Structure 1
């Protein structure tokens, strides 16, 4: 509401007065699934969480890669007094040269390389924390030419809690109305025989024992037949003697 050229909106007046002159500095800040560290805080750590990148808002192209790459130097938290109680977090960054071919290039694998020895020509260090994405600058293990020593691969870090999925992925459940698949079975050769009391015997030994028993029975049957023949012969000789 404007009356007599005076603004009567309290929150707008608070914003117009600007933030407090005293700011809070942080070495670490968590935002949008990223854990950002300032360069001084994270330069000696195993994980390099101080790389940042941001889209060029003036670009209308279809590129999916960020246009500005840099290193996070300071994290400032601004406070707005009054009824709004607004807090804004700003990142102060040192930006690398974004000129294609000089400061940024794409290698044969489709990875963005950044020349860490070239700086952005304009002084524009501040961005909102909500605008920043995180990257990691990885040097190449083998560099044959001196001019390539400052080129590093800028790997975009995925925020925590975010899972990348193919947009063409079909999550519809697959069901078969007619299942006419043929099930093939293979014969399994069992070499042991298990009894209910937990004892096991080799089938080959059982077969050999059965064969031996059959041979013994045949031998006993042969001996019995021979003995009967001898008895018959003996009885005939007695009759002849009479």
Structure 2
């Protein structure tokens, strides 16, 4: 699938928005750190929307998003307290292979580049 509506958001794959003015492929999810009570924020871009159907009675299905995650460490993600925004370095990718999440767990984010700041071209 190229599009999927869930949690009040319309998600699209990165391929759909390439030449458009709007961008609905940004995603955010919170996860825990190795089973501790600490949380970490993951940001990414949807590359594929997959619907898995299970046969049998009753028929069931689940929708998964395949992502490319950005680095959640302090080198790839930081909070800009002055403007109350999260800055994500799009050139730093998450090294671990963990590409799928259940669509119902996703929240949508919008990525905008710094047009007038040469020092933040990667953020």
Per the TM superposition, whether the score is higher than 0.5 is yes
Aligned to 1:114: 88
2:26 to 51, 59, 67: 51
Using the TM superposition, give the Cα deviation of residue 75 of structure 1 relative to its aligned residue in structure 2, in angstroms. Answer: 0.3
CA gap of 1:57–1:84, structure 2 versus 1, over 3 A, is farther
Q: For 2:115 and 2:95, locate their aligned partners in 1 and report how far apart those are by CA, in whole Å.
A: 29
Aligned to 2:77: 104
Compare the two structures and name the one with the higher strand fraction. Answer: 2
Aligned to 1:200: none
Aligned to 1:224: none
Q: For 2:18 and 2:53, locate their aligned partners in 1 and report how far apart those are by CA, in whole Å.
A: 28
Q: For residues 128-207 of structure 1, what are the structure 2 equivalents within 5 Å?
A: 128-145=102-119, 148-151=120-123
Q: For 2:49 and 2:104, locate their aligned partners in 1 and report how far apart those are by CA, in whole Å.
A: 12
Runs of 4+ in 1 over 2 A off after TM superposition: 57-61
Structure 2 gaps of 5+ residues are none
Using the TM superposition, give the Cα deviation of residue 144 of structure 1 relative to its aligned residue in structure 2, in angstroms. Answer: 3.7
Using the TM superposition, give the Cα deviation of residue 56 of structure 1 relative to its aligned residue in structure 2, in angstroms. Answer: 1.3
Give me the TM-score of the superposition, normalised by structure 2: 0.91
SS across alignment from 1:105: strand
Residue 125 of structure 1 pairs with residue 99 of structure 2: yes
Q: Deviations over 1:36-92 (max 9, x none)?
A: 00001112111100000100133634x7xx700000000000000011301100000
Aligned to 2:47: 73
Q: Deviations over 1:212-242 (max 9, x none)?
A: xxxxxxxxxxxxxxxxxxxxxxxxxxxxxxx
Using the TM superposition, give the Cα deviation of residue 137 of structure 1 relative to its aligned residue in structure 2, in angstroms. Answer: 0.5
Considering Cα pairs closer than 8 Å and 6+ residues apart, tell me whether 1 or 2 has the greater RCO. 2
SS across alignment from 1:45: coil
Structure 1 gaps of 5+ residues are 1-25, 152-242
Compare the two structures and name the one with the higher helix fraction. Answer: 1
Total equivalences in the alignment: 120
Q: For 1:71 and 1:82, locate their aligned partners in 2 and report how far apart those are by CA, in whole Å.
A: 33
1:92 to 54, 62, 66: 66
Question: Over the residues paired in the alignment, what is the CA RMSD in angstroms?
Answer: 1.5
SS across alignment from 2:116: coil
Q: For 1:99 and 1:134, locate their aligned partners in 2 and report how far apart those are by CA, in whole Å.
A: 20
Q: For 1:144 and 1:45, locate their aligned partners in 2 and report how far apart those are by CA, in whole Å.
A: 24
